[in-house]
């Protein structure tokens, strides 16, 4: 278990907090007396979820697949943010596009959080946490075809690339924060194998059976996220479960692929992300 400090007076923003790991994370922060802001696509669902969270909550609309929505969210924000958790993510069996024309997984899982973080960064005082996955180990980013317009689309391939992008984002974000003399710490978390609406609704029959019988609960999956958000860890850390090859139980620092630590690759992705979103480093 993770024992959180008293977060009275602190604000935590969590994307996709109306269900799954995001909701479990929100519950834990609420129990630690933080003000929890649920940044969600469906505000009615978010309001229902907020009613189950202890303490002060706030529900605000945010669609990471729409950069205009991301800008509106950031434009209306004025308070300090102690912890920003980029939790929301999607996985799609067929190729789909965001409102801005990006491949859905890359656009929602990486470009949306990239834009949101940089726009909110002037308000962030503590930490930025991105949810990644050990799937990043098989991820490769094809800069010549980021939107799978010519490459045959495969859900797992697109997902792994997006999760690698999450770690590269944290790598370069931390480098920039350190260079700027900022006290803000960036980290990534791998929740392990968790039964959520996304994992139970994607993949083939075998995948769904594995999830049904072996996956842990969202509350357990939230532990590495909470660890990344509050523990005394090095800048740019990657956290995950302690057991079953980092797929179940507890939280600790874990390893990552050499690609995710490649500074040149991280800088290249950052530059491309700035070009695609029109949003620069936030400090």
| 53-105 residue pLDDT tens | 999 999 999 999 999 999 999 999 999 999 999 999 999 999 999 999 999 99
| Cβ atoms within 10 Å, residue 77 | 18
User: What is the separation of C-alpha 184 from the centre of its chain, rounded to a whole number of angstroms?
Assistant: 17
The listed CATH number (1.10.260.40, 3.30.420.40, 3.40.50.720, 2.40.128.30) that belongs to domain 11-193+219-274: 3.40.50.720
pLDDT value at residue 210: 53
Per-residue pLDDT of 97-149, as tens digits, reads 999 999 999 999 999 999 999 999 999 999 999 999 999 999 999 999 999 99
**Does residue 206 have a pLDDT over 80?**
no
Nearest to 4 by CA among 222, 215, 216: 222
Helix/strand/coil for 254: coil
Please state, in angstroms and rounded to a whole number, the distance separating the CA atoms of residues 65 and 32: 31
* Strand duo 124-131 + 185-189: pairing: parallel
Two tokens at 182? Answer: 């900022």
Name the catalytic one among 29, 159, 169, 227.
Answer: 159
Name the phi and psi angles at 86, rounded to 5: -85, 85
Would residue 159 show up in a list of annotated catalytic residues for this protein?
Answer: yes
For the chain, the domains span 11-193+219-274
Please state, in angstroms and rounded to a whole number, the distance separating the CA atoms of residues 188 and 193: 16
């Amino acid at each position: 278990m993770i024992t959180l400090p008293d977060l009275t007076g602190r604000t935590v923003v969590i994307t996709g907090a109306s269900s799954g790991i995001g909701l479990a994370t929100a519950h834990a922060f609420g129990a630690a007396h933080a003000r929890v802001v649920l940044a969600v696509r469906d505000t009615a669902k978010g309001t229902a979820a907020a009613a189950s969270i202890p303490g002060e909550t706030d529900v605000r609309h945010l669609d990471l697949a729409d950069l205009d929505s991301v800008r509106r969210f950031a434009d209306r924000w004025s308070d300090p943010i102690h912890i920003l958790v980029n939790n929301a993510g999607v996985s799609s069996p067929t190729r789909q596009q965001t409102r801005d024309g990006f491949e859905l997984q890359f656009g929602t899982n990486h470009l949306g959080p990239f834009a949101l973080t940089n726009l909110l960064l002037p308000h962030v005082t503590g930490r930025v946490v991105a949810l990644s996955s050990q799937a990043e180990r098989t991820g490769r980013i094809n800069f010549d075809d980021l939107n799978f317009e010519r490459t045959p689309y495969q859900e797992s391939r697109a997902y792994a690339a997006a999760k690698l992008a999450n770690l590269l984002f944290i790598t370069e974000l931390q480098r920039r924060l350190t260079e700027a003399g900022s006290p803000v710490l960036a980290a990534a978390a791998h929740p392990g194998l968790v039964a959520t609406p996304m994992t139970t609704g994607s993949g083939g029959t075998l995948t769904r059976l594995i999830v049904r019988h072996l996956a842990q609960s969202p509350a357990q999956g939230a532990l590495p996220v909470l660890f990344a958000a509050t523990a005394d860890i090095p800048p740019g850390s990657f956290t995950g479960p302690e057991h079953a090859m980092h797929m179940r139980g507890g939280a600790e620092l874990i390893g990552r692929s050499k690609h995710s630590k490649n500074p040149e690759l991280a800088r290249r992705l950052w530059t491309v992300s700035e070009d695609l979103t029109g949003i620069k480093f936030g400090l």
